[in-house]
Amino acid sequence: MLGSVKADIEKELKAEELKRVLKEQSGVDSVREILDDTHAVLNDIKQETASVVKQASDTAGIADESGSAMASEHPTSDTK
């Protein structure tokens, strides 16, 4: 009888521990999902930023080229 009660108590304790571990695990899964979502958003931002920087660089290159062309068409004369 005492052995049976002791076994029942051990089973109950193990069941409670299992419930606790499963609850913690579901929290870990939620955090992992948040991290995965954040990683995806950061990658999107990185790609968009790279695209904007490339466009700005290309635009600046075009502006530099047209500025250089204008400077060669209209040389300044500092001689007096």
From 24, 21, 17, select the one nearest 32 (Cα to Cα). 24
Tell me the DSSP string of 10-31: HHHHHHHHHHHHHHHHHHHHHH
pLDDT in tens, 26-79: 888 888 899 999 999 999 999 999 999 999 998 888 766 665 544 555 555 555
In one-letter notation, the amino acid at residue 77 is S
Q: What is the distance, to the nearest Å, from the Cα of residue 48 to the centroid of all Cα atoms in its chain?
A: 13
Question: Helix, strand, coil: what percent of the chain each, to 5?
Answer: 90, 0, 10
**73/27 Cα distance (integer angstroms):** 69
Would you say the pTM of this structure is higher than 0.85?
no
